[in-house]
Structure 1
Amino acid sequence: MNTLTDFKEWLTKRDKSAETIRSYLAAVKRFISFKQEQTNGPVLVNQTTEEDVQAFVYHLQTKKQYKPASINVMLNALRTYFKYAERNEWIKTNPTTHIESVKNHKQRRDYLTTEEVQQLLNVIDHPIANLIVRTLAFTGLRISECLALEIEDIDFVKNLIYVRKGKGNKPRVLPLSAALKPHLLEYIEGQRSYIKDSQKLFATQKTGGFSAVYINRILNEATAKLGWEKHVTAHTLRHSFASELVRQSVELPKVAALLGHSDFRTVTSIYVHIADEELQKAVELIQL
Structure 2
Amino acid sequence: MPKKPDDALVPYTGDRLAQARSVATLHDDELKRRASAAARDKNLDDLWAITLAYLTSDSHAGVGASKHTLRAYRKGVEVLVEYAADHAWNLLRPGRREPGLFVAHLSASGLKPATVHSRVASANALYRALRWAGATDADPFADVKRPKDRTKGIVKNPPYKTDFVTAMAEVARADERALILLMAHAGLRIAEALALAWEHVHFERKRLLVAHGKGDKARLVPMSAKLREALHALRVERGLPSRGFVFTFHAYATAYERLRRLARSIDREDEFRGFHAGRKLAGTRLYAQVKDFTRVAGFLGHEQVDTTRRYVELPEDDLADAVENFE
Does TM-score exceed 0.5, indicating one fold? yes
AA aligned to 1:200 is F
> Matched residue of 1:248: which SS?
helix
| Partner residue in 2 for 1:200 | 245
AA aligned to 1:121 is A
| Partner residue in 1 for 2:22 | none
Q: 2:60 aligned with 1:10, yes or no?
A: no
Overall identity of the aligned pairs, in %: 20
| Partner residue in 1 for 2:142 | 97
258-267 or 165-174, which deviates more: 165-174
Alignment match of 1:191 (pick from 237, 240, 253): 237
> What is the rounded CA distance, in whole Å, between the counterparts of 1:228 and 1:287 in structure 2?
45
The count of corresponding residues between Structure 1 and Structure 2 is 274
Q: 2:303 aligned with 1:262, yes or no?
A: yes
1:68 deviates by 2.2
| Partner residue in 2 for 1:272 | 312
AA aligned to 1:271 is Y
| Partner residue in 2 for 1:58 | 104
Change (3 A) 1:43 1:32: farther
Structure 1 unaligned blocks of 5 or more? 203-207
Change (3 A) 1:226 1:71: same
User: What do the CA deviations read for 1:1-39 (whole angstroms, capped 9, x no partner)?
Assistant: 233454432211131426334543442343132122112
> Matched residue of 2:271: which SS?
coil
8 Å contact from structure 2 (residues 174, 233) kept in 1:
no
1:194 deviates by 7.2
AA aligned to 1:232 is R
Alignment match of 1:67 (pick from 99, 112, 115): 112
1:168 deviates by 3.5
| Partner residue in 1 for 2:173 | 126
> What is the rounded CA distance, in whole Å, between the counterparts of 2:226 and 2:291 in structure 1?
18
Change (3 A) 1:251 1:53: same
Q: 2:284 aligned with 1:239, yes or no?
A: no
> What is the rounded CA distance, in whole Å, between the counterparts of 2:189 and 2:261 in structure 1?
20
136-145 or 12-21, which deviates more: 12-21
TM-score by length of 1: 0.78
| Partner residue in 2 for 1:78 | 123
8 Å contact from structure 1 (residues 50, 99) kept in 2:
no
> Matched residue of 1:193: which SS?
coil
8 Å contact from structure 1 (residues 215, 234) kept in 2:
no
26-35 or 256-265, which deviates more: 26-35
Match runs of 1:86-235 below 5 Å: 91=136, 94-106=139-151, 108=155, 109-122=157-170, 124-188=171-235, 190-193=236-239, 199-202=244-247, 208-209=248-249, 211-224=251-264, 225=266, 227=268, 229-235=270-276
